[in-house]
Amino acid sequence: MKIFPIACESLGTRSFCHLVMTESVNILVDPSVSLGPKRFGLKPHPTEIAASWISRQTIMEISQLADVIIQTHYHGDHFTLNSPRKYEFSNKEIFRALYNPEVTIIAKDYEKNINYRQQQRAKHLWKNKKISVSKADNNHYEFGSTQITFSPAVPHGVQEASVFVVEVMIKEGDRSYIFTSDVCGPSSKEATDFIITNLPDIVAVDGIPFYISKTEEYIEEAFRNLSKIVDEIREIYIDHHFLRSLEWENKLQENLGRKLPAFSNLRNQKPFLLEAQRRQLHNDDPTREDFYNSFYVDDYSITYFRELLQKNGFHHYWKKLKEDVKEENAKLKNI
């Protein structure tokens, strides 16, 4: 089993998208990308938008090799919406290209344990007659030698009390991996228990969004749960909510007494946090307001995005990722 992070906070955007490749199946998890529309009172810096753009291009390219798409819930940073969202580079065509009849889609149930807003979004997937979607919640699927097991619906956590997600375990031979999706810590016992009960070899967890003031009363509980997981699992990566602040490593040291690697470290990439550095990015390289009216329709923007990514040395990551995914696919499929 190989895991390829495609988009996440340690790669400069809001996302937790990755590809899991086994001998029998290529699984694309939560294929979307997003940016915090306002942070520190500021819009995303063009460097962040460039990272979102290249992440979207990479998701679309890699999706062509996917046999299965897993959708853990319907927030825009995980689910590609069927409407134009400029920081997410999504629209109807992108939606159709991604969630197509050729791919097996296993997604969070849209009828149970779901709030109205998530359900309205989920219907674009579930009510589409051209594609078939299977329920993830508490279900088990097998693809050749690969087993995919979902948790029952577990709380998204402190950030949105009425949202539920599914955690997923992928197992091939004696190797297993759990992706928690958005469990904010984990902030709940249910989300923690799914990990502790299954004891996978590898875990990717989102962590608590400690930078939001309303999370204060939940922080201790979230670290207690995270600590239980860290005690049991040897290989654990933290990302997403937890990496929206430059303080993330200090917070781990303070609360767990040790550091954990970010998801990008799984591919030996040092994390590059962009939203957390938004103030600095705007100070160092100010942006004209009219940029925000045109970047998503303007061909010139693509040249500008490439320049920004090259200037920062970030473009190498996705270039190498695509090469490695193609090479691994050829090896696994004996092409």
25 vs 154 by CB, closer to Fe ion: 154
Give Cα 18 to chain centroid, integer Å: 7
Q: How many helices (H) and strands (E) does the chain have?
A: 10, 14
Question: How many CB atoms are closer than 10 A to CB 101?
Answer: 11
- Residue 104 has φ and ψ, to the nearest 5°, of -85, 125
Helices (H), the chain: 46-63, 92-98, 116-126, 189-198, 216-232, 248-256, 278-284, 291-294, 299-312, 315-332
Q: Minimum distance between the CB of residue 299 and Fe ion, rounded to whole angstroms? A: 31
Question: How many CB atoms are closer than 10 A to CB 212?
Answer: 15
**Sign of the alpha-carbon dihedral angle for 242, 66, 154, 110:** positive
Q: Which amino acid is at 158?
A: V
Give Cα 320 to chain centroid, integer Å: 19
16 is written with which tokens?
């937790």
Q: Minimum distance between the CB of residue 155 and Fe ion, rounded to whole angstroms? A: 11
Q: Minimum distance between the CB of residue 323 and Fe ion, rounded to whole angstroms? A: 28
22 vs 187 by CB, closer to Fe ion: 187
Q: Minimum distance between the CB of residue 240 and Fe ion, rounded to whole angstroms? A: 6
* Burial of 297 per CB tally in 10 Å (0-12, 13-18, 19+): exposed
Write the CA distances from 143 to 169, 175, 264, 285, integer angstroms.
Answer: 13, 15, 27, 49
Binding site for Fe ion (CB under 5 A): 75, 77, 182
Q: Minimum distance between the CB of residue 160 and Fe ion, rounded to whole angstroms? A: 7
103 is written with which tokens?
């791919």
Q: Minimum distance between the CB of residue 58 and Fe ion, rounded to whole angstroms? A: 18
Q: Minimum distance between the CB of residue 162 and Fe ion, rounded to whole angstroms? A: 12
48 vs 77 by CB, closer to Fe ion: 77
